[in-house]
Amino acid sequence: MAEAMLEVTDLHKHFTLHGDLVSRLAGKTQTLKAVDGISFRIESGETLGLVGESGCGKSTTGRLITRLVEPSSGDIRLKGEDVLQFEGKKLLESRKAMQLVFQDPYSSLNPRKTIMQILERPLEIHNLAENWTTKRERVLELLNLVGLGREHVDRYPHEFSGGQRQRIAIARALAVDPEFIIGDEPVSALDVSVQAQILNLFRELQEKFSLTYLFIAHDLSVVRHISDRVAVMYVGKIVELGPASEIFANPQHPYTSALMAAVPEADPKKPAPRLTLQGELATPIDPPPGCRLNGRCPKATPECGEITPPLLEQAPGHFVACHNI
């Protein structure tokens, strides 16, 4: 098998919670299992969509990969190299190879800096420009790549719309010529019409620069049009992983089916939703044994409450973690 751009194996991130004063004095703690043993790989040039409800661990996964948050255990390899062993200069080089585009394009841009100052900063950190003239030329080139003009270079973030600010955030990510970009809900704060424009921009840039994406979202309709494969995450675990076309045409896990049913349909002739779930999202704090969906799933059996289902290949490239498939 060819070397993947990114390979994640048995990745965990657990946080210790000390609770209120009484709990702390009594020495009682709880464990929040934000990411609890996930594995996946992303091939060079492809887009993996990572979807799930808020609080399922998607964004934490993105931060673990870039080591903005250190994992509790597991293995992360970028083009075969162990990311968790990177230090100093090697860690800086890895940050050059993979970049993040955050959800909120306003809070991720320094409001006191001009667009020139924002975009020149990564060039300075990675020594990618010899002088001011070179930096200015590169910044203008980046703005052009994302559909903005030279007249924007000396303005401040508050002078732009949400879509324009996200274009600037994408330009900043492109400044260091990355190979791999993690989009952490990069269109969720935008209007629907603007979302389509930004998604089209992501696709154009991928084709132009042979980029690899991990595209994190809670909206299935967003990842449907940009992803080659989709991983569905629920309370710290991946419950289904496979080709996007197959996931959307034939979801196997009850949670995936429920997510599909929640997507609004404009066509009244569409069949009724496959499955709905009862109750609230399970908590990642000291979760019980067995399947995390056990308390909400209409297909649950006694086995589901006792044994955690492994992620198994049910069809070529299509993996599902469910006892009842």
pLDDT digits (tens, 9 = 90+) for 86-134: 999 898 888 899 999 998 888 889 999 999 999 999 999 999 988 999 9
Q: Which residues pair with 230 in a beta bridge?
A: 49, 242
The reply to whether 305 falls in a domain is no
The reply to whether 323 falls in a domain is no
The reply to whether 306 falls in a domain is no
The answer to whether 252 and 317 are in contact (CB under 8 A) is no
Cα–Cα distance for residue pair 178/101, rounded to 1 Å: 12
Domain extent, residue 69, equals 6-289
Question: Hey, how many other C-beta atoms are within 10 angstroms of the C-beta on 74?
Answer: 17
Cα–Cα distance for residue pair 194/116, rounded to 1 Å: 24
Tell me: the pLDDT tens digits for 287-308?
878 999 998 888 889 999 999 9
The answer to whether 69 and 63 are in contact (CB under 8 A) is yes
In the chain, the DSSP E strands lie at 6-17, 30-42, 47-51, 73-78, 81-82, 98-101, 180-184, 212-217, 229-234, 237-243, 312-315, 318-320
Low-confidence ranges of the chain (pLDDT < 50): 272
The reply to whether 208 falls in a domain is yes
Lookup: tokens for 315: 């069809």
- The continuous run of DSSP H or E covering 22 comes out as helix 21-25
Most distant pair of Cα atoms in the chain: their distance: 68
**Would you put residue 263 in left (φ > 0), alpha (ψ -120 to 50) or beta?**
beta
Cα–Cα distance for residue pair 128/126, rounded to 1 Å: 6
CA distances from 164 to 69, 72, 190, 196 (A): 28, 37, 10, 13
Cα–Cα distance for residue pair 65/77, rounded to 1 Å: 9
CATH number of residue 80's parent domain: 3.40.50.300
The reply to whether 57 falls in a domain is yes
The reply to whether 93 falls in a domain is yes
Indicate the number of domains in the chain.
1
* β-bridge pairing 73-78 and 30-42: unpaired
What is residue 107's predicted lDDT score, i.e. its pLDDT? 86
The reply to whether 318 falls in a domain is no
What is residue 310's predicted lDDT score, i.e. its pLDDT? 95
The answer to whether 213 and 6 are in contact (CB under 8 A) is no
The reply to whether 265 falls in a domain is yes
Single pTM value for the model:
0.91
**What is the length of the chain?**
325
Q: Which among 1, 12, 41 has a CA at the least distance from the CA of 212?
A: 41
The answer to whether 116 and 128 are in contact (CB under 8 A) is no
Q: Which among 83, 50, 92, 88 has a CA at the least distance from the CA of 233?
A: 50
CA distances from 308 to 40, 48, 246, 296 (A): 18, 24, 24, 15
Cα–Cα distance for residue pair 26/215, rounded to 1 Å: 42
